[in-house]
Structure 1
Amino acid sequence: MNKSVSLFVVLTALLLGGCAGIGTINRAATPTDLYALTPKSTFDANLPRLRQQIVIEEPTATAAVDTDQIAVHPTPLQVEYLPGVRWVDRAPLIVQALLIESFENSGKVAAVGRSTVGLRPDYTIVTDVREFQAHLPKSEEPDAPLEIHVRLNLKIVDSFSDHIIGSNSFTEVVPTQSDEMLDIVTAFDSALGRAMRDSVEWSVRKIYGHAQANPRPQLR
């Protein structure tokens, strides 16, 4: 059976069958297809320009999300993983890398990177990946689309005072065009891209406002 056409059928059968496990299918599904996501590159042209340096910490996530497997929730209390497919890295590391690149693509940040590169940040962005999964459609219609849920919770920490200056949550829900794997990944890319765009724009504005109101003391 063609894998791209049968994902929804497989998931539905697993949900109804009970005894069958995705682990068995995973072991039989070879080779594994790898999928990547893309950074955001378009932003509000009126964003202020920052002189401050920013560090993006590795995001936190639950064990269900902190994996390179592509998660699906058949019900709110169940987590399954699509057989034979993987992300190119663990989801939190993908989000971290794409957030950094998205900040760079905005053209509004003096310097941004990971803490491991030795930057002495003015501000640190701490991210929690709350949702990063597909949901089976609630409708019983055979052609009902899957829903991709992405939710990022961001906190901005002033590295000088070690205080949180802002916290916000960015949620996106995008339906898939079909149950084909490429359409599922495209919906993930769209949902994450929208969440990252809003995250970057909010962060830049929040940091700019805080920096303007709280200038650093001049060193003598």
Structure 2
Amino acid sequence: MNDERRSRAVRAGAIVTCARLALGLGLALALAACGSTPVPTYNLSAPSGFSSGGGGAGQLVVMAPAALAVLNTDKIMVEPGGGQVAYLADAQWSDNLPALIQARTIQAFENGSKLRRVARPGDGVSADTQLVIDIRTFALRITDQGPVGVVELSAKLVGAQSGRILAAQLFKAAVPAASTAGAAATAALNDATDQVLVAMVRWASGKF
């Protein structure tokens, strides 16, 4: 087989592989590797216009959230059901999800809490307490009632000197999405994130 025929065969095989992936999911989803078209980028906003308690002199450091490999990416995860995992083909986050959640959590504290002494590791701050976050779920879940943006974060307040867990709480929110399209999916996930972060800020601020 000459080089031209071999190249045509490789391209044809790639097209067939991508088509099989899309058909297997039964949704408008496919891995980003299946195409070279630029993927639209979406951001998460930090909640504002809310207030919470707390006003102590303690300094809080928000640690980089932990996440499984499927969530430690800028791709937007979809749960079609049956234990399957996929990603939206027409949308991606502006940064890896853990970094994005860390930044928006800090901003949420700054926007809504009297606790202004909030930073991230490496900012030169001597922390009294660390906020440790685990991203349990952050995906567009396909249900019988339609797509739903689901966010579930586990949070722990840990004494920086003692290493003891001072408080722990699980925060969850689910917001229906108008469709599985990128704009609708990210809007639902953004609204769910706002609900979770507002609840988290109010909870944590009340511990100081």
TM-score band by shorter chain is: 0.7 to 0.9
Root-mean-square deviation (Å):
2.2
TM normalised by structure 1 equals 0.79
Residue among 36, 40, 48 paired with 1:33: 40
Q: TM-score, normalised by structure 2?
A: 0.83
* 72-81 or 179-188: bigger deviation: 179-188
Alignment-derived partner of residue 85 in structure 1 = 91
Preserved contact between residue 62 and residue 121 of structure 2 (Cα < 8 Å): yes
Shift of 1:79: 0.5
Aligned to 1:170: 171
Distance 2:139 2:60 in 1: 28
Superposition deviation, residue 12 in structure 1: 7.8
Deviation at 1:137, TM superposition (A): 2.5
* Contact map agreement 1:22 1:83 (CA 8 A) in 2: yes
Q: 1:204 to 1:31 in 2, by over 3 A?
A: same
CA contact (8 A) 2:128 2:161 kept: yes
> What is aligned with 2:30?
22
How many equivalent residue pairs? 188
Contact 1:30 1:84 in 2 (8 A): no
Query: Residue 185 and residue 16 in structure 1: after superposition, are their counterparts in 2 closer, same or farther (change >3 A)?
Result: closer
User: How far apart are residue 161 of structure 1 and its match?
Assistant: 2.1
**What is the rounded CA distance, in whole Å, between the counterparts of 1:124 and 1:133 in structure 2?**
26
Identity %: 29
**Uncovered stretches (5+) of structure 1, i.e. residues with no partner:** 1-9, 140-144, 209-220
In structure 2, C-alpha distance between the alignment counterparts of 1:72 and 1:49, rounded to whole Å: 39
Gapped runs of 5+ residues in structure 2?
Answer: 1-19
- 1:125 is matched with 131
Runs of 4+ in 1 over 4 A off after TM superposition: none
